[in-house]
Amino acid sequence: MAEILRVGVAGLGTVGASVVRLLLRQAQALAARTGREIVVTAVSARDKGKDRGVDLAGAAFYDDPIALAAADGIDLFVELIGGSEGPARVSVETALAKGKSVVTANKALLSAHGSALAELAESRHVALAFEASVAGGIPIVKTLREGLAGNSIERVYGILNGTCNYILSRMEAERLSFEECLKEAQRLGYAEADPTFDIGGFDSAHKLSILASLAFGARIAPEAVEIEGIERVTLADIDAAGELGFRIKLLGVAQRTAQGIEQRVHPTMVRKTTAIAQVMGVTNAVTIDADAVHELTLVGPGAGGDATASAVVADIADIAKGVRSAPFGLPSASLRKLERAPAALHEGGYYIRLAVPDVPGAFAAIATAMAERKISLESIMQHGARAARRSGAAQVGTQVGVILITHATTERLVREALDAIYADGVIAEPAQVIRIERE
User: So which residues are the catalytic ones?
Assistant: 207
Residue 13 labelled as part of a binding site: yes
Residues 136-155 that bind its own copies (CB under 8 A): 137-139, 142-143, 146-152
Of residues 299, 319, 370, 388, which one binds its own copies by CB under 8 A? Answer: 299
Distance in Å, CB of 230 to its own copies, minimum: 23
Q: Is 307 in the site for its own copies (CB under 8 A)?
A: yes
Q: Which is nearer to its own copies, 15 or 352 (CB)?
A: 15
Q: Is 259 in the site for its own copies (CB under 8 A)?
A: no
Distance between CA 289 and CA 8 in Å, rounded?
37
Distance in Å, CB of 304 to its own copies, minimum: 8
Q: Is 260 in the site for its own copies (CB under 8 A)?
A: no
Buried b (16+ CB within 10 A) or exposed e, 326-342: bbbbbebeebeebebbe
Distance between CA 188 and CA 371 in Å, rounded?
47
Residues 344-383 that bind its own copies (CB under 8 A): none
Distance in Å, CB of 22 to its own copies, minimum: 5
Residue 17 labelled as part of a binding site: yes
Q: Which is nearer to its own copies, 69 or 313 (CB)?
A: 313
Binding flags for its own copies, 208-247, as an x/- string (CB under 8 A): ---------x------------------------------
Q: Is 419 in the site for its own copies (CB under 8 A)?
A: no
Distance in Å, CB of 3 to its own copies, minimum: 18
Q: Which stretch binds its own copies (CB under 8 A): 111-119, 162-170, 221-229, 287-295?
A: 287-295
Q: Which is nearer to its own copies, 314 or 414 (CB)?
A: 314
Q: Which is nearer to its own copies, 275 or 426 (CB)?
A: 275
Q: Is 50 in the site for its own copies (CB under 8 A)?
A: no
Half-sphere exposure of 71 (CA within 13 A, CB side): 25
Residue 16 labelled as part of a binding site: yes
Distance between CA 81 and CA 16 in Å, rounded?
9
Which residue ranges are tagged as binding site for NADPH? 107
Q: Which residues are annotated as a binding site?
A: 10-17, 107, 192
Which residues contribute to the site for its own copies (CB under 8 A)?
18, 22-23, 25-26, 29-30, 32-34, 131, 137-139, 142-143, 146-152, 217, 275, 278-279, 290-301, 304, 306-307, 309-314, 316-318, 321, 323, 325-326, 329-331, 334
